[in-house]
Structure formats: structure tokens, C-alpha cells
A and B are shown apart, each in its own frame.
Chain A
Amino acid sequence: MGRLDEREAMEILDQLRKRSLWMLHYCTACGAVELPPTMTSRYDMERFGIVPFVTSRQADILLVTGYINIKTLRRIVTVYEQMLDPKYVVGFGSCTINGGIYWDSYAVAKRLDLYLPVDLYIAGCMPRPEAVISAFRHLMRLIDEGKADGYRRYKDNYDWFKANQKKVLGE
């Protein structure tokens, strides 16, 4: 019996990891109303092992809902960097993809992808709870296939992400 190398161990652990995802929902703007029905009796997110948590240290998924102000972007980056590997970012709503209806606003960061490594987008304004559940199922599939590697991309392209953040935040 040979020793498991790291890749095989990760594959086995990913099988278990995808069944226990703790979510930190960072409700910056809108979208907070769509999540309670997803968590509670009507759609019951807990049957997939997804539970809402309140601190960044304990969470696995960072759910960024709605548009991102320049002011809140700084907090989102702080929260993301406080989370522990492996961690996943889910962009929720059209505004995280291209700014949505705030496409010409000076105070909104349009593309979340430039600042944080997004594993999955949920399109829509607003996405229904069915879409949220479907997205989490898709994220579980991505984790299973080893394609949800946002935390690795963030480390590999750290300078690029930091430069983008600095351009907007102006530090």
C-alpha cells in the first residue's frame, strides 16, 4: 500500500468538502431578501450541507450580493483575505458581472473578477432562490472536479489582483 500523494488526498477530501460548505453572505447592497427563503423551510439549503455563518474565519464561501461600492470593496477584500483556504467566491446578481444597472456609475466597481478570483457567477436581477440552489449544486460539481481553484489563482496572480485593487481604491 503506497502512500497517498497530495493530489489523490485532495481528490478524496474534495468529495467530503463539497458536502459541507459554510457560507458568508456579504450583502453589500440588494439580494439579502432572496437568501432567507433559500435558507429556510421553502427551499431548505441545509439539506446540501450549506449553512450560513457569520464570521470570515469560519466560512468557506464568500457570497457577494449586489453591486459593489468602492467603499465596500475594501471591506470585501479584507474579509476575503481573512478567510482560510480553500475558499470560494460566488458573485450573486448581474451587478457583480458587469455593473448591471449601475454600468455608468462612478462609485461602483463593475467587475468583481478584476479584484477577487470568482469561482461562479449567478446571473439575474435578482436571481430566484431556485437559481441560488442550482448555483450551489454547480459549485459542488466544480469542487468535485477540482475546477474551483480561485484561492490558488489569487495566490498565483497576487500582484495582478493587488494592482487592480490599488487602481480603484487609490492607496
Chain B
Amino acid sequence: MVTNILMIIFTPIIAFFIGVIFVGLKRKIIARIQRRYGPPVVQPLLDIIKLLAKKENISHGVMFDLGPVILLGAVIMTVQFLPTPNAPLLSNYGDLIALIYISVVGALGMALGAGEASNPNASIGVAKALSLMFSYELPFAIVVATIILRYQSTNINIIIHGQSYLHWGLFFLPITTIAGFISIYGAMGEHPFDVAVAPQEIATGPMVEYGGKHLGFLMIDHMMHTYIELALFVNLFMGGASNWFFFIAKMFGVYFVMTVIETVMPRFKMENAIKYFMRWPTILALIGLLTVYIGG
């Protein structure tokens, strides 16, 4: 009980540092694939410190300031509903469906904040981000329904327990796992699905007017968001983990695959990205659902 309360306080900080190391390693891996030396692994931390140490800040209104804060609040809350190896945190009080609801709050806060900047690029970016969110949430909702049907529970701890002794979803629900991987990869917003922040087209989209401390907060949010998506995948399809070492190792394995995909991919156009999500992951998720429904 005491451990759980302590972990509720410290898990967001641990999630942040895991995100920093992972994003730093990602930049290093991309550099090595492109035959470069690459920045140091702590580069994301240096960027965040530099942004938070900026001397000036420009605000466009109250909602503009609150946008990153709402996003940070939503991200910290989502971390609490993902069980860690040594503590369930709050995951016994909120199930998988609550988790999906909460994970949307941050995107809405971001949309409200970026909308107040009244920069056309920000508006386009927000519209693209929300449309893309609807399209990758569709296969993910079917995947979640499949998992709930398979393990007869919405509680993530029971789902993890059902996958113990290598009875991973990865091996027993392979088609659903592929669909889930693609949806979670879309939620990460990396190539080829980075239509919302496309720097060459709409100048980083929703973040176009954010600079200084605002952008520092957005980068902190990004680090914790990376942890959330990876922890969700590990918990749903790879049976969680019994200690932090295996938990981080599994998350890094998934992230490595994602990084390799990201490095070699160009960017989708908006309509192609939506069509892709509405077609392939959705068909795979439906086949997986049918398999579980018939086969049990």
C-alpha cells in the first residue's frame, strides 16, 4: 500500500526519464542507420533545460498557456492507470476503457491551446491531428474489444495475469497484435504518420506559435507520451513484466522496431494516412475479433 502511494508520486518522474533516454537513443539509432555520429543520448534533456531557461516568453492568451498544462495533466493521469512491475498504481480503479477516454483529453487541451494562437498553420495542424486520431482510434477500439473478449475482463491487471508464463497476446493473438501495433504506432505520431507536425509543410503544425517554456512543457509531455504508448503495448500484448529491467527491455524492443520503421519511411499525405488506418489495421482487427469470437 505504501509502495503504491510512493509509486503514484514517482512513476511520472520515472516515465519522464525513461522517455528521455528512449528518445535520445532513438536519435542515436537514426543517426547510426544514416551513417552519422549522432547527438549525445542526453540531448533531449539538454533541449528541455535550454527551453525552460529561455529569458522571454510570448503568450497569446490564457488558453494558449493552459494548453500544455492540460496536456501534462492528462499525460500524468494516464500514467497512473498503467500498472508498473512493482505497483498497480490506480489501475484497479480505472479499466482499459477509462484509459482510452483519458488519453484523448490531452489532445483536446492541445487543440484548444493551439487554436488560440490564431496561426493558420496551427489550425491546419489541429484539424489534421484530430482527424488522424479518429482514424487510428477505430482499429484500436476493435483491438481493445478483442482483448476484453479474450480475457473476459477490462482490468489491465487481469489481462496481464492472463498472459503470464509466456502466454503473451503476441503469440496467441498475432493478427490483433499487428493491428494494435499499427494503431499505437500511429498514436506515436512518427513517420509516416507525422502529418500533424509535418515541419516542411505546415511548420510543426500545432506547435508553430509555441516557443520557450511552453515548448519545454510540450517536450516533457512528449517524453511521457512515449512511455505511455510503449507501456500500453507491453501490458496488452507482451504480458507486462515482473521487474523494471524486463519492463524497460521489452519497451525498448518495441521502440527499436518503431525507430527502424520510422527511419526508412517518408510521410503520408493526409487522406492516404486516414485511408490506410481505415483499411488495413481495421480489416486485421476485425479478422482478429472474428477469430477470438469463433475460436474462443
Contacts and interface: CB of A to CB of B under 8 A. Distances in A.
A58 B215 contact: yes
Interface stretch (B30-38, B234-242, B276-284): B30-38
A43 to B, nearest CB: 9
Interface string B48-67: 01100111111000000000
Interface stretch (B2-10, B104-112, B200-208, B252-260): B200-208
Interface in B57-112: 57-58
B210 interface: yes
Contacts of B208: 55, 57
Contacts of A58: 204, 207, 210-211, 215
Contacts of A107: none
A84 B211 contact: yes
Contact of A84 (B34, B37, B56, B203): B56
B58 A57 contact: yes
Contacts of B35: 41
Interface string A37-48: 000110010111
B50 A20 contact: yes
B262 interface: no
Nearest to B209: A57
A20 B54 contact: no
A60 B56 CA distance: 12
Interface string A43-75: 010111100011101101000000000000000
B27 interface: yes
A47 B36 contact: yes
Interface of A: 13, 16-17, 19-20, 22, 40-41, 44, 46-49, 53-55, 57-58, 60, 83-86
Interface of B: 27, 31, 34-40, 43, 46-47, 49-50, 53-58, 199-200, 203-204, 207-212, 215
20 contacts: A16-B49, A16-B53, A17-B50, A17-B53, A20-B46, A22-B47, A44-B38, A46-B39, A47-B31, A47-B36, A49-B43, A54-B200, A54-B203, A54-B204, A57-B215, A58-B204, A58-B211, A60-B50, A84-B57, A86-B55
